[in-house]
Structure formats: C-alpha cells, structure tokens
C-alpha cells in the first residue's frame, strides 16, 4: 500500500465533520500503521494551520481592501484556516485516544512579504492537496480509508477552486486533476519547513527552482551534472508531456497549474515508478486569460 498514508496525511482544507467520522473507523485497522498515518497527517495539518494563522494575523481587512479584496473574501480565508485548525484538533484527539503521541509542530518558513505572495502560497498548498489525494487513491485498499480520502478531496477541490478564482483564473482549469506520489508531495511541503523535532518519514526529492518565461520554463537544482541528457516532464490534466531540458517548452494546453520535474529519461513517469526523477516537482501557474 505505497500511497495509503497520504490519503489522510495530506488532509488539507476539509471540515471537521467530514474528517472525524471516517477517522473513527480507522481503529479497526492495524494500530501502529494507523498511528503512523495519522501523525503524518497531523504534521501536514500543523503546517497548513500555522500558515493561515500567521498570514491572517499579518494581513488584516485593511490589507485585503488595499488589494481591492473586500472583507467577504478575507472571511473565506478565515474559514479555510478554521478548517485547518479543526483538523489539528481532531487528529490530535484521535491519536491520543489510540494511545499514541501526537507529533508537535515544526518550525516553518512561510514567505509572507505581501498579500499577493500569501495568496500564491495558499493556491500552491490547496492545489497540491488535491493532487495528493488522487495519488493516494491508487494504493488504498481499505474502504473506510478511501471514503475518508475522497470526502476530504472534494472539499479541498472547492478550496483550490476558490483560490484560483480570487486571482482571476479559472477555478477548474482542466477536466481532470493530477495525482502526485508521497515523495512528490513532501518535496513541495518541505519548501515551507525550516526544521522539525522528528523525522517526517519520507525523503523529498532534490528541490527544483522553476519559472515560466514565455513558452518555456527555466529550471535549476543543486547537484546538476553538466552534459547529462535530461528532460522536463510536465504533469497536468491527465497528461505527462516531455520536453528536452535544453528547451523545456511549456505545453500550449497548460492554462492553469502545472507540475514540472526533471528526469534522466524521456519515458513519462508514473505513480508506480518515480525512480528517474532528478529534481522536483515544482508547481507553476499559467493564467488562461
């Protein structure tokens, strides 16, 4: 069950009632395994909750108004933050009721220079959450766990849609969303973690720096090998589009989010084989207007 722990682990932006009921059924499964699942979930919920806590403390109604966003918009962010906080409470309670020790918060490094950056990070986290659940579904065999993952994924999709539309882009840019593996999810999450008092249990890939420049993507990562044949692989919709890294040409049908990874093969990567990834994923957005 390679992906099963992500089903709950990436529990980003759902309601407590949706979350709590399926979690009660998890006690029927192996206790040690469930505690690992729930603590990984709690680790990521701590990250999400703290992000909204810090951001909304810094950016009050006046700041939102200065960006021509009224208080109703800010209240939507407040509600999302409340969902994250409730998830922390629910997960902590369930872990303690099973005799486990809940993981503490990490030390985070959120880019909160301005409201525009705050919203951009929120979009990245919420869109990634949808992808995490889709990747998880491929390996879930427990009906209760699959139900829990699906009930959270639908709410996460609504949150990401709202955040996409706040910046004037299509709330649902594609007919399909893109699944990510556990390591790919952790690679993105660790961008915001400075240090942790415990091992997250999943090693991230090498971080990839990427930016869109016209119809191409500029990339760099630590430890690059000069002269090696490498490819950019773009993950979006139901597609994996491959381009030589020297060109790294953005597919013309990208009109919203897109993940890019660097590989040492032109063979499209799958959920079952990510061994050829050299760096990434990095999450990028290209508007459709």
- What residues does each domain of the chain span? 4-195, 208-285
CA distance 146 to 169: 30
Mean pLDDT of the chain: 82
Residue 35: pLDDT band by 50, 70, 90 thresholds? confident
Which of 17-26, 69-78, 105-114, 120-129 shows the lowest mean pLDDT across its residues?
17-26
pLDDT at 176 over 60: yes
Confidence (pLDDT) at 4: 29
Identify whether 281 is preceded by a cis peptide bond (ω within 30 of 0): yes
How many alpha carbons fall within 13 Å on the CB side of residue 161? 12
pLDDT at 2: 24
Percent of the chain's residues with pLDDT above 90:
54
Least confident of 41-45, 120-124, 233-237: 41-45
* Residue 208 predicted with pLDDT over 80: yes
Q: What is the pLDDT of residues 246-258, one digit of tens each?
A: 999 999 999 999 9
The mean pLDDT of 175-181, rounded to a whole number, is 91
pLDDT for 32 equals 60
Average pLDDT over residues 100-118: 93
8 confidence band (pLDDT: 50, 70, 90):
very low
C-alpha dihedral sign at 153, 159, 164, 170: positive
* pLDDT reading at 10 higher than 80: no
48's tokens: 């999400």
Is pLDDT of 27 > 60? no
pLDDT at 84: 81
pLDDT of residue 262: 98
**Secondary structure (3-state) at 198:** coil
More confident residue, 27 or 137: 137
The CATH homologous superfamily to which domain 4-195 belongs is: Ferritin, core subunit, four-helix bundle (1.20.1260.10)
Spell out where the chain has E strands: 107-108, 193-195, 208-213, 216-221, 231-236, 239-244, 257-263, 277-285
| Predicted confidence (pLDDT) per residue in 130-166, tens digit | 887 777 666 555 566 566 667 777 777 888 999 999 9
What pLDDT score was predicted for residue 20? Answer: 36
Q: Give the whole-number percent of the chain exceeding pLDDT 70.
A: 80
């Amino acid at each position: 069950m390679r992906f099963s722990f992500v089903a709950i682990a990436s529990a980003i932006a759902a309601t407590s009632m949706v979350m709590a009921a399926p979690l009660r059924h998890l006690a029927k499964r192996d206790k040690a395994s469930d505690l690992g699942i729930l603590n990984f979930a709690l680790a990521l919920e701590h990250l999400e909750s703290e992000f909204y806590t810090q951001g909304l403390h810094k950016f009050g109604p006046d700041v939102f108004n200065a960006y021509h966003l009224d208080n109703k918009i800010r209240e939507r962010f407040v509600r999302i933050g409340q969902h994250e906080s409730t998830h922390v409470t629910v997960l902590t309670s369930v872990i303690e009721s099973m005799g486990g020790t809940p993981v503490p918060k990490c030390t985070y490094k959120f880019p909160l220079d301005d409201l525009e950056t705050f919203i951009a990070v929120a979009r990245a986290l919420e869109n990634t959450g949808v992808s995490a659940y889709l990747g998880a579904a491929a390996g879930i065999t427990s009906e209760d766990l699959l139900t829990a993952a699906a009930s959270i994924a639908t709410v996460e999709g609504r949150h990401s849609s709202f955040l996409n539309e706040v910046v004037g882009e299509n709330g649902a840019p594609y007919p399909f969303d893109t699944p990510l593996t556990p390591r790919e999810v952790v690679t993105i999450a660790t961008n915001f973690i400075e240090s942790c008092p415990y091992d997250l249990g999943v090693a991230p890939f090498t971080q990839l720096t990427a930016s869109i420049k016209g119809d191409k993507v500029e990339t760099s990562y630590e430890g690059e090998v000069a002269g090696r044949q490498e490819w950019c692989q773009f993950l979006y919709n139901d597609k994996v589009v491959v381009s030589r890294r020297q060109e790294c040409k953005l597919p013309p049908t990208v009109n919203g989010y897109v993940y890019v990874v660097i590989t040492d093969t032109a063979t499209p990567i799958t959920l079952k084989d990510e061994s050829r990834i050299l760096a990434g994923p990095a999450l990028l957005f290209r508007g459709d207007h």
